[in-house]
């Protein structure tokens, strides 16, 4: 089916009157947010837009508020961020997940700072930067520079699906045009001097009114155009996205040397690659009652002074639902003398560091490692073992 034929089936019906009602609704209902100026018509700092929109991807607005404020206090502009170390950036990102985003933010900041200019003003230039895709580029161009550029996030997908009763998602692969149809509707809304207002109003509408569950249709300024509302089928749209979850059970090692240092690894791990993390590997349940053979890739069994099982914790990283046993191992040797067998391998993908135990909770920037450390440092602590994954479309 061609794109042209698809639009004969799914015609446009967003009128100038519809858009005016949307703008009026937004002016009356826009929430106060740290990245949103009081004057809704004011151009914004493109750096602040970039950071806030990246944080908001698959993360709740209520969560991002404090993260954004702390980030901007420490990294108020591209130049300041570009000079930061990756470990510190990760600390300010800790808890948001998707650490590759934080790494890409730092890479992009360094590129932009090296060119001694502000954020680019064209979609082509923005999308060429690490971690900036079509949505983020559109948000920067629209909200910061007031250009007629479209955006498409989960909120707009939900609204368009209900407005036009689209029974497919942009990610569906049955038709190559699925994503393009949604983007065409987004471009229609953005084809206006008030594109910045329309884009942000739709995101706000999706977050507060056209919600995934129990939408407040009677409060919606677009209900007279909404086919799903008029047909009493709101709950059917958008279609349910199939999520593939993978269970993973493993063991985390908290290895403490005789001089009170904790073993940390970078690279060669199942999760948190290129980050400072605790050694971990896949294992069966109950494997940690004795020293797992895999643990001897990291430490020499002859140097062990004591070994203690410290329970389990649950965690989520992308599609992985993780359950880990914690093995607390004390060595008889000091960190400078400890033999780490993996370092003897010619093809070793891991590097190791010893972290002062007193500073460990400040040094590790990922909650995966921190959950295990807290269990060891305070075995009676109430470690949060809840699923810390994110809703599929964020901004709820």
Residues classed as catalytic: 53
CA distances from 385 to 60, 148, 191 (A): 19, 44, 46
Which residues touch 385 (CB under 8 Å, ≥6 apart)?
312, 313, 314, 315, 371
Residue from 216, 241, 262, 270 nearest 356 by CA: 262
Structure-token match 């639902």, residue found:
321
Buried b (16+ CB within 10 A) or exposed e, 171-209: eeeeeebbbebbbbbbbbbbeeebbbbbbbbbbbbbbbb
Task: Name residues whose C-beta falls within 8 Å of residue 175's C-beta, 6 or more positions apart in sequence.
Answer: 1, 6, 168
Residue 327 has phi, psi (to 5 degrees) of -115, 115
Is there a contact between 245 and 321 (Cβ–Cβ < 8 Å)? Answer: yes
Residues 264, 276 contacting (CB under 8 angstroms)? yes
Quote the CA–CA distance of 149 and 187 in Å, as a whole number.
7
Where are the extended beta strands (E) located within 341-382?
351-356
Angle between helices 46-56 and 99-114 (to 10 degrees): 170
DSSP 391: -
């Amino acid at each position: 089916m061609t794109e042209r034929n698809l639009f004969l089936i799914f015609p446009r019906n967003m009128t100038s009157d519809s858009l005016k009602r949307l703008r009026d609704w937004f002016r009356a209902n826009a929430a106060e947010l740290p990245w949103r100026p009081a004057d809704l018509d004011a151009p914004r700092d493109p750096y602040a837009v970039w950071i806030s929109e990246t944080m908001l991807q698959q993360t709740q607005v209520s969560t991002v508020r404090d993260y954004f404020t702390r980030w901007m206090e420490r990294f108020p502009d591209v130049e300041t961020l570009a000079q930061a170390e990756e470990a510190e950036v990760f600390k300010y990102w800790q808890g948001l997940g998707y650490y590759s985003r934080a790494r890409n933010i730092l890479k992009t900041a360094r590129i932009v700072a090296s060119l001694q200019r502000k954020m680019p003003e064209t979609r082509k230039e923005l999308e060429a930067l690490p971690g900036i895709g079509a949505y983020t580029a559109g948000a920067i161009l629209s909200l910061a520079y007031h250009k007629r550029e479209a955006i498409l996030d989960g909120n707009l997908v939900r609204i368009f699906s209900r407005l036009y009763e689209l029974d497919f998602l942009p990610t569906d692969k049955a038709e190559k045009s699925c994503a393009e149809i949604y983007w065409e509707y987004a471009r229609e809304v953005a084809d206006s001097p008030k594109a910045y207002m329309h884009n942000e109003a739709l995101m706000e509408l999706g977050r507060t009114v056209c919600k995934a569950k129990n939408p407040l249709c009677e409060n919606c300024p677009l209900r007279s155009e909404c086919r799903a509302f008029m047909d009493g089928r709101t709950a059917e749209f958008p279609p349910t996205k199939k999520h593939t979850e993978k269970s993973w059970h493993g063991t985390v090692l908290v290895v403490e040397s005789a001089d009170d240092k904790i073993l940390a690894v970078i690279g060669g791990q199942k999760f948190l690659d290129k980050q400072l993390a605790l050694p971990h590997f896949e294992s069966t349940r109950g494997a940690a009652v004795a020293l797992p053979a895999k643990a001897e890739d990291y430490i020499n069994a002859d140097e062990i002074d004591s070994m203690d099982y410290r329970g389990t914790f649950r965690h989520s990283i992308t599609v992985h639902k993780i359950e880990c046993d914690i093995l607390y191992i004390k060595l008889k040797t000091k960190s400078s003398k400890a033999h780490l067998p993996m370092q003897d391998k010619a093809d070793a993908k891991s590097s190791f560091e010893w972290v002062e135990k007193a500073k460990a909770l400040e040094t590790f920037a990922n909650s995966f490692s921190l959950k295990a450390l807290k269990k060891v440092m305070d075995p009676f602590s109430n470690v949060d073992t809840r699923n810390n994954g994110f809703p599929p479309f964020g901004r709820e």
